Amino acid sequence: MKTILVTGARGQIGSDLVSALRRRFGATQVIESTRKAVPHLEGNLLPYEVLDVTDEHRLQEIVEHYQVDTIYHLAGLLSAKGEQNPELCWNINVNGLKNVLQVAKSHQLRVFWPSSIAVFGPHTPKLDTPQITVEDPSTVYGITKVTGELLCRYYAYQFGVDVRSLRLPGIISYSTLPGGGTTDFAVEIFYAALKYGTYTCFVRPETRLPMMYMPDAIAAILHLMEADSALIKVRSSYNIAAVSFSAEELVAEIQKYLPEFTCDYAPDFRQAIADSWPCVIDDSRARADWGWKHTYDLPAIVADMLAKLDERLMRVGQESMVCAQSLF
Ligand code: AKB
């Protein structure tokens, strides 16, 4: 039976991944952990721990207490937040990962860790970015991801740690908002379209970036972790892709459902980050080595996002009405 620890469990990917892992392996087999205490999780019957991944001793204690055999290590700062606090970004992203790899080495754990398209930079080919190419990131986040990939490969080859990784693009989802990334506009826009009918986008209309719908991201992570070890030929991190679209193409697709929706553009510091990243990624190694394929294209993402988010916002609206009514 698998016992799984998820760090950063309440982030955008963590929330959906924990649900998927609990459905697959059993609710009590998955331990959620967050850096700061989440009161309603502490009162929950399912396994939950407060864990700052920069504390190796505490990590080891949790691994030993639950006899963890696999860690999905998602705790980390994203690109925009990283630029605002480079030291914290380095500490959590690099030292946190090194601690996970150290404990994985001493306790023979399997590890999943997300890298990012942020490993690439201004001199990387923008179209069909190859698996092996120039990596000259201009953000501290990108630098932590390049360093992390090298650490993963080092621990895999020097110490036999079974660590697997994907260079994730922008992830679009409806359960939990992303926090502090450059690709966040592609999620915020759906909330704004449904709630306010208008959105001010922080990148220019023609900005084209690689993106993926959350169900594809979860499928990719689970598929990678279940693949036979002999098939995993890249131990730094695999390029992985689904769709690429510009901000204005996303707006046009949303307008097919919400014709009144308007979007204006006020690029900020995140524009330079977006401009330094590739537009389209070549993920043929992941497709050839372990059979990766995506399901959702842009029209399918927009249709599903609007339907799911609309339902969710209505439910939240009804719940807050019930709360408001119960006050009288
Ligand atoms: C970000 O925008 O920082 C992330 C990423 C592409 O790694 N979504």
d(CA 76, CA 97): 9
Q: What is the mean pLDDT of residues 118-127?
A: 98
Residue ID of nearest Cα to ligand 1 atom 1: 181
Number of CB atoms found within 10 A of residue 163's CB: 28
134 has a pLDDT exceeding 90: yes
The predicted pLDDT at position 321 comes to 52
Of 48, 72, 141, 213, catalytic: 141
Share of the chain above pLDDT 90, in %: 91
The separation between CA 257 and the C-alpha centre of its own chain, rounded to angstroms, equals 27
Mutation test residue for ligand 1: of 184, 202, 268, the one with most atoms within 8 Å of CB: 184
Question: Would 83 be classed as within a structural domain?
Answer: yes
Shortest-distance atom of ligand 1 to CA 78: 3
Give the range of the structural domain holding residue 68, as residue numbers without chain letter.
4-171+212-242+280-295
87 has a pLDDT exceeding 70: yes
The neighbouring-strand residues paired with 162 are: 110
Question: Would 50 be classed as within a structural domain?
Answer: yes
Instruction: Give me the CATH number covering residue 217.
Output: 3.40.50.720
The predicted pLDDT at position 325 comes to 43
The predicted pLDDT at position 320 comes to 59
pTM over 0.85: yes
* Rounded-to-10 torsion of CA 93, 95, 101, 104: -110
Weakest-pLDDT range from 1-5, 40-44, 298-302, 322-326: 322-326
> Is 141 considered catalytic here?
yes
Q: What tokens does 273 get?
A: 């980050």
Cβ proximity of 241 and 283 under 8 Å: yes
Question: Would 145 be classed as within a structural domain?
Answer: yes
The count of structural domains within the chain is: 1
64 has a pLDDT exceeding 80: yes
Of 142, 147, 140, the closest CA to residue 119 belongs to: 142
The predicted pLDDT at position 45 comes to 86
The predicted pLDDT at position 328 comes to 30
Question: Would 321 be classed as within a structural domain?
Answer: no
Pocket of ligand 1 (CB under 6 A): 78-79, 116-118, 168-170, 181-183
Of 5, 110, 97, the closest CA to residue 56 belongs to: 97
The predicted pLDDT at position 123 comes to 97
Question: Would 192 be classed as within a structural domain?
Answer: no
- pLDDT tens, 242-271? 999 999 999 999 999 999 999 999 999 999
Question: Would 130 be classed as within a structural domain?
Answer: yes
Question: Would 311 be classed as within a structural domain?
Answer: no
Q: What is the mean pLDDT of residues 18-25?
A: 97
- Average per-residue pLDDT in the chain? 95
d(CA 115, CA 112): 10
Question: Would 66 be classed as within a structural domain?
Answer: yes
